[in-house]
Structure 1
Amino acid sequence: MTADASNEHQRRKDDHIALAGQQQLAPVARNDFDEVEFVHHALDGIDESRVRLDVRLADLTWPMPLYINGMTGGSDAATRINRELAITARETGLPMACGSMSITLRLPETADGFRVLRDENPDGFIMANLGAGRSGDDARKVVDLIGANALQLHLNAAQETVMPEGERAFSGWARSVEQIVAAAGVPVIVKEVGFGLSRRTLLRLSELGVRIADVSGSGGTDFVSIENSRRRFGDYAFLAGYGQSALACLLDATGEGGPELLASGGVRSPLDVVKALALGARAAGVAGVFLKPATEGGAEALVPLVQRWLTQLRQLHALLGAAEPSELRHTDLLLRGRIKEFCELRGIDPSCFSHRRDEAPPSRTSQPQASEPTSGGPNER
């Protein structure tokens, strides 16, 4: 590859960082997370000390239902950000993913921008990242490069459609997914990049051997808008907001079959995380909200933010009477607005989510222990 082509690839990575950061500077917008509300049951709370945040995900165990989603890599600026994210993951225990590593297959000299993740976080859970359409050999290369524990395999047809230099041959992607799942040597987590995975897609992924999928819906970083900003005429503005939200995808996936689910896209707070968990996600991924502190203040700013999120997650579990993340699936939810309309159009009864507590099994830790006094506090049943 020529020096000009190399510089162009790295400029594209830096453009993505800058444009994603600009989206984060905009006033906080409503998204579909705001259309979901917990029914408050004032006597259902449990002690915060009884909450466990660890989760099972297929054959994996994560210490919390939260992870740093893939953001960047492949330029000097991206390397600096990846270093701060890796330090944050090391200090907090968060699993993390890197940005797309396809650039390392074209430009081996960019590899250190990804190796820094393992250099700074030698014992952490790190996900490599590659786009669909690649080979099993490519998958093994990027996994080996950073000693990855898993591989994120992203589907980004909408982004590629608008990207000025995008690849638009999509018909071989399913076969590529199947080959990569078989060859990667680590768990493969198929994800979107902000446009959502439908029930049809999830069932197809299961047939291809995928056991874990990140629905990664709209409402967060909008890669259509990012790529459109890089076009000379900005002539794809009509596709801004394309796709379905993470919560819509989780609702669409309700039922038997399909991979175990992660959720990302538009997650702005710990409350959004517990809403995703309540609708069936095993964990929720965050990218955009963590990008600004990682860029401006580094790990010194981001570590305390993540620690606050983890504390607030435990407190929200206690408030909602959930001793562990899976018990949030028995909370009562009110679905309103666009989410309610989506359910109705997809043949899902939105009212059934408002009475789940009635059929829920009792929490393993919602009752006082025999040795404990039963009259010491008003928020134990």
Structure 2
Amino acid sequence: ADLQNPQLDLDGKACAAVGQSGLMAIYDTLFSQLDVTSSQLLVTDRDFRDPSFGHQLRETVVSLLDLKVIPVFNENDAISTRRAPYEDSSGIFWDNDSLATLLAKELDADLLIMLSDVEGLYSGPPSDPQSKIIHTYINEKHGKLINFGEKSRVGRGGMQAKVAAAVTAASKGVPAVIASGFVTDSIIKIMRGEKIGTLFHNEANVWDCSKEVTTREMAVAAKDCSRHLQNLSSEERKKILLDIAGALDANVDLIISENEADLAAAQDSGYEKSLVARMTLKAGKITSLAESIRAIADMEDPISHTLKKTEVAKDLVFEKMYCPLGVLLIIFESRPDALVQVKISGSTNYKTYLEHQLLFIISILLYRLQL
């Protein structure tokens, strides 16, 4: 129903005023079953034109959350001055999805979750067997390729409106996820980082792999990077190590949080307790890793260090020195700290070096052949 315009003998705005109390009664009943108190906050587009509104909004929401009260937002349709098609000249918001995006930005939200009656955004109508769910939305890639189906009879915008709102939220620095509200514990699973629904992020295009990369291409890329690493000075390599150690120290809480999400997912998937235990990270282990990295950074760099010089003829001197090992393929068990250890070994080659024995022997043979 168009609540912004009178219909027949019924005033849509008057109906909205009557319906608000009934709607909140339903929220109160459902939340009370979980022993949770809910509250109602009604806003209009005019509120967001007031410069002081944002500050007051944040104060009120913070106070409610401190009291363990769930704020339920909605547009105050009864007194809204907007007209169909629900987007006024200012374009502030035009449905609950765009309102959610606006509130997420005003409240500095870490994540916006929009629940629907489908599992996420599909490449076509969800009823079409050929349609596939899009787990990460990339505007440049999917923007013009998606065929939206019919919108719900309840509400205003349907999936197309949700996508527009999610894209806007992501562009403003608030990641968004569209998922099904009918999936058990969908919000909890999203917060754990599980791959459900469709993610919208302002850096999603950086993650996109437009084509499948072959093993050979990865090996060639690794070799190219190794040449760059070999050409770095000792101080530059040391700085890399110190930056890694600093990043570990600065992100202990985040690393622990992500590790806990991984552990929960592993337990839900039925992994053995011994394997889950090896995957567990504690703050002390992260700190120990950072200290070990700094200790390695302070070691003398043996790369290009000359072990021996041999003069085989006049003006012909062979040197035996340490050199980088090169590119390694390392298969290691699923321990989070092992990844850091592999990274350090690969970045520095402090522990493993090949001496130029083979090159030395070949050079001697070539010299004798010339004689």
Mark yes or no: TM-score above 0.5.
no
- Max radius of gyration: which structure? 2
TM-score (norm 1): 0.29
- Higher-RCO chain (CA-CA 8 Å, sequence separation at least 6): 1
TM-score (norm 2): 0.29
